[in-house]
Amino acid sequence: MPQELLLTGLREGIYTITLNRPEKLNALNRQLIAGLGRVMEEVYRRPDIRAVLITGAGEKAFAAGADIAELASLDVEAATALARSVQQDVFDKIENCPKPVVAAVNGYALGGGCELAMACHFRTAAETARFGQPEAGLGLIPGYGGTQRLTRLAGKGRAMEMMMSGGMIDAATAERWGLVNHIYPPGQLLDASLRLLEKIRDNAPPALGRIIGLVNAASLGDAGGFDREIAAFGACFGTPEMQEGTRAFLEKRKPKFDGGER
């Protein structure tokens, strides 16, 4: 029976996606990437999924890059098509998901694995995690959005150094550079990340979706960001979630959000 490359589970609105090639350090082959795209379509479609956590199986790796054996067989046309497909059909879908998507980086996040983590809305990491973009040592460059997202997250100089040197940085450095929000001991990473997502999950889904869209646009230098924020702020007042949230605050109780318009 073939191994399932992705393990999924839903608990109290939080959908956990586990990359499951631990014997290959969860390297991203075409089959795994295609499966991740299909799973993200499910995330968009299902109202019972309120937030998403992506992690890797085993103790060594989140995802230690793309599958080099697959890459070695590609020509210019095929490589271009692959990069376009991964970026547009999978990683952009993660970045622009209206539901919170968090990467829990449990080990090596290298090459395509680092790019996957950066496509998530933010990242938590085990103390043992390592991040890197080593493609230049293979005569390549990051092709799944890495040159763009790493520059936005860490800044031009740090992105240049990390990609041109091909070296790895540890979790503490990644936190200092803005790649990681929180660091935990390895055995506490998943539980702590889930507790953080529980806090996020309990907020109004339409508000979360608008925050994600506006912050993504701001990171791209959206010149109309303030006007878009004004319009989105006003639109919130037409949602039942805003009515429930303000009513609950005035009544000194916890609001109950069931989803709704996004």
Question: Which residues are known catalytic residues?
Answer: 115, 135
Q: What's the maximum distance between 2 C-alpha atoms anywhere in the chain?
A: 63
Question: How many whole angstroms separate alpha carbon 143 and alpha carbon 88?
Answer: 12
CA distance 107 to 186: 9
Using CA atoms, how far apart are residues 196 and 237, in angstroms rounded to an integer? 27
User: How far apart are the C-alpha atoms of 21 and 7, rounded to whole Å?
Assistant: 10
d(C-alpha 218, C-alpha 213), whole Å: 9
Which distant-in-sequence residues (6+ apart) come within 8 Å of 146 by Cβ?
111, 114, 115, 118, 133, 135, 163
The closest of 93, 112, 82, 118 to 42, measured between CA atoms, is 93
